Structure 1
Amino acid sequence: MLLKGAWIVPHPPLIIPEVGAGRQKAIQKTIDAYKKVADQIRSLAPDALVIATPHAVSYRDCFAISAGRGAEGSFADFGAPQVRIKVRYDADLAGEISRWAGREGLAVEASDERCNVPDHGMMIPLYFIREQG
């Protein structure tokens, strides 16, 4: 699989209009940057996205990879339960990454039980990609 691009983005819940409720004007430059990233991703038309988030399941002695069928979550924790994100996982890619990591001596836990609810670190980038698409 060919890597087409990589980005590092912040994930303040305030950036979601239903959460920010008008307060997102204070982070307009971040919103504009997110829109540019979403446009770039859309123009590259990747087969899959790999999202690393500091809020996901983590283990002390290994990396965690979401290997289930997918996940669904909302911004209910931030007062916007109506804003939902549903994502389908690429099991083949998760397996490929796990095998590569094993060959490189990296410990990986491919889990579908604890990784079925996306956190805001995953949902915010997906929200912008979806909204820009």
Structure 2
Amino acid sequence: MTLVFSCITPHGGEIIPELCGALPQRMAKTRESMDRLGEYMRLAAPEAIIVLTPHGTRINGQFSISNSEHMTGNVEENGAIFSMARVVDRDLASEIELYTKQAGLPVGSINYATSAGPLSSLPLDWGSIVPLRFMPDVPVVIITPSRDISFEKHLQFGNVLRTAVQQSNKRVGLIASCDWAHAHKPDGPYGYHPAAMELDQRVVNLFKNNQLEDMVNFDSQFIEDAKPDGIWQTLILAGAIPKLERRIEFLSYEAPTYFGLLCAAIR
């Protein structure tokens, strides 16, 4: 099979309705877009969902693939806690690892405690929990890229991901979990930098013009100043869905706090 539906989602905790607190309007536009993306995914009826997240278990210099029996985690925001547990599609995870190794790319699969069974459980990070809150409850594979690996190899890894999905005979959804520049507000944890608005505007234009691969041309200092965490996952998605086959429905962008939130459906 092929990828039945893909999307770019943000992962700010307040997007989850249960965590919005006293300011539900703050991320209302994004929350509405996430509801729409979740409906699109349900209509596509995936048997498994791959999530590309910057906040999962990292392996320096390698693509990290979850291959535990289960994953569980919590997101805390505004005095509330949202919890989630998911089963891992271990067959799909193993196939992705196999094809990645055959392509000569650096990769490692990860597990914890026991090889199988209830104790084989890894943390589910907020970069996965937030988008999965809006998606059908099906088995998952969580993949975390490494910033030590070149942009070009992220595109190549996307090609490998596509091949593994095609060989799996499964209907698979793909989520690239991406927040954008984190330097929009002087009172945010990373301070303010004018590069934040510039980078997010360029990213929005790249989505609207179906030019995702052009993110490889972003200057390293520009990235450091703006502090996005979405480039790497987006490049993997771009490699998995070639430009000529890719149709992007841009849904929304907003930066109601210190970081940018973007939602797009990709078919």
**Displacement over 4 Å in runs of 4+:** none
In the alignment, which residue of structure 2 is the partner of 1:8? Answer: 8
- Helix, strand or coil at the partner of 1:50: strand
> Partners of 2:51 and 2:31 in 1: how far apart?
19
Computed over aligned residues only, the root mean square deviation of the Cα atoms, in angstroms, reads 2.0
Aligned residue for 1:47? 47
Equivalent residues of 1:65, 1:109 under 8 A apart: yes
Secondary structure class of the residue paired with 1:18: helix
Structure 1 residues 64-106: Cα deviation after superposition (integer angstroms, max 9, x where no partner): 000010111122476323x211100000000000011011111
Give the 5 Å matches for 1:70-89. 70-76=70-76, 79-81=79-81, 83-89=82-88
Q: Which has the higher helix share?
A: 1
Instruction: State how far apart, in whole Å, the 1-side matches of 2:23 and 2:78 are.
Output: 14
TM-score, normalising length from structure 2?
Answer: 0.46
Asked if 1 retains the 8 angstrom alpha-carbon contact of 2:41 and 2:135, the reply is: yes
Counterparts of 1:1-133 in structure 2 under 5 Å?
A: 1-76=1-76, 79-81=79-81, 83-113=82-112, 116-130=122-136
Gap regions ≥5 residues in structure 2:
114-120, 138-267
Secondary structure of residue in 2 paired with 1:42: helix
Q: What's the % identity of the aligned pairs?
A: 29
Per the alignment, in what secondary structure is the counterpart of residue 51 of structure 2?
A: coil
Measured after TM superposition, the shift of residue 60 of structure 1 is 2.0
Which structure: larger Rg?
A: 2
8 Å contact from structure 1 (residues 67, 94) kept in 2: yes
Choose between structure 1 and 2 for higher RCO, CA contacts under 8 A separated by at least 6 residues: 1
User: TM-score, structure 1 length as denominator?
Assistant: 0.88
Query: Which deviations, in whole Å up to 9, do the C-alpha atoms of 1:86-131 show, x marking residues without a partner?
Result: 1000000000000110111111110012971111110011111259
Q: Distance in 1 between matches of 2:28 and 2:16?
A: 11
Distance of 2:130 and 2:13 partners within structure 1? 7
Structure 1 unaligned runs (5+)? none
1-10 vs 16-25, greater mean Cα deviation: 16-25
Within 2, Cα distance between the matches of 1:43 and 1:130?
10
Change in CA separation of 1:77 and 1:63 when aligned onto 2, cut-off 3 Å: farther
Q: Aligned partners of 1:17 and 1:34: how far apart in 2?
A: 11
Per-residue displacement from partner, 1:44-78 (whole Å, max 9, x unpaired)? 00111000111111122110000010111122476
Query: Partner of 2:64: helix, strand, or coil?
Result: strand
